[in-house]
């Protein structure tokens, strides 16, 4: 039984982590557990009373080469948090996703011999590549909170404490999901067919992948003018960036592209756009799981800095990049990676999904996997965290 207020440190680096963090804060409170929360959080966590020492965007860097450019800044943030928690320790540090930063932060806290338990919420893809990282995780992390059952099984083989807590979206998103209702929610014409284009939410992703999706849209618009293209923008800066890219394309395409800017604190615009679209084309990442749980036919793509890709290619231990394919253990959705991520190839894959039968086969596979994620025997993340804490 808790006899005092807990002090909980958290660090997130992007919108999906902010969503998980806000939900976890609410779950602590729903269970009557008094706690203060601090570290690095986004607008959703801050709205729950979270104290953020740095803006969340400071960690929004992807790729080996890209991170190197910001290494000094990232080290300064890490050292700042270590200093803060050396002076006023939290009871537990929960790193939410952002494993490159959070695992290093946990290691630094352990090296200081601070009385702080460490938790990693969302397993890094250690089962997919750089499996040697599991030794570092075992040394610096007291508990891994896993979103998928196969992750807990992996950690069990290495003797790393882990709990399968389930993916919150699997229970949050319904098995019955009406397309017309989703269009209506965004104020779209119900009879209009839409293709969602999601090049990513980071500036660098839009720089690399924006031309891929807009080039594909240009090709498709000439053949299928009945489709309208929807591109979500999580904030005004990303909206302006997409608008600037769009100036290089035809007036015919400009008239068929709608940039949908986020309007709520939960940054749900990406999900709303995917949900309201007949076909989804999106950058590979956590959003592929969202699209799967929304049961929308999709194709995924990604491009990294060439050196980052060469290094990653040597380290990857599994045949797939996207979560739907990894969960299924087979190719359910098409993946266009690096040199395959071209406007022509993306347009061709989107065109295949215009076939009703092809799209329906994929949708049925999405529903099957959704049911599998719901049927797992998941644990409560709050109770899992409390189980590693001791109180005098």
How confident is the model over 274-298, as pLDDT tens digits?
999 999 999 988 899 999 999 999 9
- Considering only 114-118, 185-189, 203-207, which range has the smallest mean pLDDT? 203-207
- Residue 80, pLDDT above cutoff 70: yes
Provide the pLDDT for residue 61.
Answer: 58
Whether residue 217 sits in one domain with residue 114:
no
Whether residue 342 sits in one domain with residue 198:
yes
Q: Is 392 inside a domain boundary? A: no
Whether residue 297 sits in one domain with residue 216:
yes
Provide the pLDDT for residue 189.
Answer: 96
Would you say 94 and 385 are in contact if contact means Cβ atoms under 8 Å apart? yes
Whether residue 196 sits in one domain with residue 154:
no
Domain that includes residue 53, residue range: 6-166+378-386
Q: Is 35 inside a domain boundary? A: yes
Look at strands 35-41 and 298-302 and give their pairing.
Answer: unpaired
Q: Which residues pair with 145 in a beta bridge?
A: 121, 163
Q: Is 391 inside a domain boundary? A: no
Residue with tokens 């960036």: 241
Provide the pLDDT for residue 69.
Answer: 61
What is the CB neighbour count within 10 angstroms for residue 50? 23
- C-alpha distances in Å from residue 67, one per residue of 77, 138, 204, 222, 381: 14, 24, 12, 39, 30
Whether residue 176 sits in one domain with residue 65:
no
Q: What is the CATH number of the domain that holds 66?
A: 3.40.50.2000
Residue with tokens 């909980």: 8
Whether residue 148 sits in one domain with residue 198:
no
Provide the pLDDT for residue 270.
Answer: 94
**DSSP output for 209-257:** HHHHHHHHHHHHHHH-TTEEEEEEESSHHHHHHHHHHHTTS-HHHHTTE
Provide the pLDDT for residue 64.
Answer: 46
Provide the pLDDT for residue 283.
Answer: 94
Q: Is 102 inside a domain boundary? A: yes
Whether residue 159 sits in one domain with residue 251:
no
Provide the pLDDT for residue 392.
Answer: 43
Whether residue 179 sits in one domain with residue 100:
no
Nearest to 155 by CA among 119, 179, 187, 111: 119
Whether residue 134 sits in one domain with residue 251:
no
Provide the pLDDT for residue 376.
Answer: 63
Q: Is 235 inside a domain boundary? A: yes
pTM: 0.71
Number of domains in the chain: 2
What mean pLDDT is predicted for residues 51-70? 71
Nearest to 128 by CA among 327, 276, 264, 306: 327
What mean pLDDT is predicted for residues 222-247? 96
Biggest CA pair distance of the chain: 70
DSSP label of 296: -
What mean pLDDT is predicted for residues 259-269? 84
Whether residue 196 sits in one domain with residue 54:
no
- Residue 63, pLDDT above cutoff 80: no
Q: Measured between alpha carbons, how far is 145 from 142 in angstroms, rounded to an integer?
A: 10
242 — pLDDT class (breaks 50, 70, 90): very high
Would you say 144 and 162 are in contact if contact means Cβ atoms under 8 Å apart? yes
Provide the pLDDT for residue 60.
Answer: 67
Mean pLDDT of the chain: 91
Whether residue 123 sits in one domain with residue 94:
yes
- Residue 57, pLDDT above cutoff 50: yes
Provide the pLDDT for residue 128.
Answer: 73
Provide the pLDDT for residue 329.
Answer: 82
Provide the pLDDT for residue 348.
Answer: 98
Q: Is 1 inside a domain boundary? A: no
Provide the pLDDT for residue 201.
Answer: 86
Residue 227 neighbours by CB under 8 Å, 6+ apart: 193, 194, 195, 220, 221, 256, 278
CA-CA-CA-CA torsion sign (288, 331, 375, 185): positive
Q: Which residues pair with 52 in a beta bridge?
A: 39
pLDDT tens track for 301-328: 998 877 877 777 766 767 788 889 988 8
- C-alpha distances in Å from residue 279, one per residue of 220, 284, 294, 349, 354: 13, 15, 11, 10, 8
Q: Measured between alpha carbons, how far is 48 from 387 in angstroms, rounded to an integer?
A: 24
Residue 302 burial (10 A CB sphere; 0-12, 13-18, 19+): buried
Q: Measured between alpha carbons, how far is 240 from 21 in angstroms, rounded to an integer?
A: 28
Q: Is 131 inside a domain boundary? A: yes
Whether residue 295 sits in one domain with residue 327:
yes
Q: Is 101 inside a domain boundary? A: yes
């Amino acid at each position: 039984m808790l006899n005092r207020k807990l002090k909980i440190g958290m660090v997130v680096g992007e919108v999906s982590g902010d969503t998980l963090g806000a939900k976890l804060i609410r779950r602590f409170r729903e269970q009557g557990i008094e706690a203060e929360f601090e570290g690095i959080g986004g607008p959703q966590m801050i709205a729950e009373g979270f104290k953020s020492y740095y803006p969340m965007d400071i960690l929004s860097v992807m790729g080996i080469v890209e991170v190197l450019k910001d290494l000094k800044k990232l080290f300064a943030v890490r050292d700042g948090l270590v200093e803060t928690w050396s002076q006023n320790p939290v009871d537990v540090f929960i790193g939410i996703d952002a494993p490159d930063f959070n695992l290093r932060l946990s290691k630094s806290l352990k090296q200081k011999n601070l009385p702080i338990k460490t938790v990693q919420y969302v397993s890094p893809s250690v089962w997919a590549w750089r499996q040697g990282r599991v030794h570092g995780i075992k040394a610096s992390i007291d508990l891994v909170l896993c979103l998928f059952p196969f992750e807990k099984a992996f950690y069990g083989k290495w003797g790393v404490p882990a709990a399968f807590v389930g993916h919150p979206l699997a229970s949050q998103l319904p098995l019955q999901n009406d397309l017309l209702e989703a269009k209506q929610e965004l104020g779209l014409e119900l009879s209009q067919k839409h293709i969602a284009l999601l090049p990513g939410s980071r500036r660098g992703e839009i720089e690399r992948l924006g031309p891929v999706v807009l080039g594909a849209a240009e090709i498709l618009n000439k053949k299928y003018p009945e489709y309208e293209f929807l591109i979500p923008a999580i904030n005004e800066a990303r909206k302006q960036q997409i608008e600037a890219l769009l100036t290089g394309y035809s007036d015919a395409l400009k008239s068929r592209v709608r940039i949908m800017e986020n309007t709520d604190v939960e940054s749900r615009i990406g999900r709303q756009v995917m949900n309201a679209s007949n076909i989804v084309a999106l950058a590979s990442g956590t959003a592929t799981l969202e699209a799967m749980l929304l049961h929308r036919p999709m194709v995924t793509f990604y491009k990294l800095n060439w050196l980052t890709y060469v290094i990653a290619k040597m380290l990857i231990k599994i045949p797939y990049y996207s979560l739907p394919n990894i969960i299924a253990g087979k190719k359910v959705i098409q993946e266009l990676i690096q040199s395959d991520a071209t406007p022509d190839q993306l347009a061709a894959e989107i065109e295949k999904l215009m076939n009703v039968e092809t799209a329906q086969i994929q949708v049925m596979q999405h529903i099957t996997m959704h049911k599998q994620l719901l049927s797992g025997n998941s644990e409560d993340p709050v109770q899992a965290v409390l189980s590693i804490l001791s109180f005098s």
